[in-house]
Amino acid sequence: MKLSRIFKFREGDQGEAVKPFLDHLEDLRWVIIKMALALGIAMLLAFCFRHQLVQILQGPLKAIDPRLLKSLVSLGVADSMTISFQLAFYAGIVIAFPFLIYFAGQFILPALTPPEKKAMLPAVGVGFGLFLAGVVLGYYLVLPATLRFFFRDAQSLDWTPTWTVRDYFSFVTQLCVGFGVAFELPVVVLVLVRLGILSVALLRRTRAYAFLLIFIAAAFLAPTPDAVSMAMMGTPMYLLYELCIFVAWMMERKRKKEAEALVR
């Protein structure tokens, strides 16, 4: 997507409100600064509760076998700090996510009508709700099943599963946040529909390509490139894509009715 296309959309239909290209870039700079500040504050807050965060993320491993917690090995001298910063970063994304969506929305969609602006906060809430739903699904459903699968698979090969703290927490955080990001697919698709870049007809016509692209994206978002993780992440993403088609159809139907009412 070209920046000029987004900048053109930002202007709306009011010609007198047209901004120079550099003014748009200045707006973009301030949006990035606000997003960075929100993420930085959230990371600092998460770092202050790093001990509780570690306990929460070790929960799925403890549920398999409490003795496994003692099998986690720290190989780096500074692992306690580097991993704490890594966890604070991912937790910061979760905490700051509604602010990140709101700031991005303010930049991309300033030409909204007054009713649409009133709907922006609920839309941010929906986006954050979808993100949290993905994180919760990943943590409570997918993560325990995935850990149990790899643990038992290693045992079936007569190996003793001994995971490093760096690998374990990297796997857990990437899986949970990856599911959260994957569940933002409806938000992305519906914004593209609102921008006029996508349509219901195009979404329906490209189902097969979308299916392929979704599972390719799932392979990148999943912490490991195995078929189990990819299937568990790709399946709900495709179901959300089908939901997007229905919601986009409702949006286009409402837009046509409004246009017809204006003609009358």
Q: Where are the domains of the chain?
A: 1-178, 184-264
In this prediction, residue 119 carries a pLDDT of: 64
Structure tokens of 39? 């993420």
* Residue range 156-173, pLDDT digits in tens: 998 888 889 999 999 999
- Give percent of the chain above pLDDT 70: 84
Determine the 3-state secondary structure of 164 from DSSP: strand
For residue 172, the model assigns a pLDDT of: 93
Helix boundaries (H) for 75-184: 79-108, 114-118, 120-137, 143-156, 165-182
Tell me what the mean pLDDT of segment 140-164 comes to: 87
Question: How far is Cα 68 from Cα 75, in angstroms, rounded to an integer?
Answer: 17
Q: Of 97, 82, 99, which Cα lies nearest the Cα of 47?
A: 82
Q: What is the CA radius of gyration of the chain?
A: 22
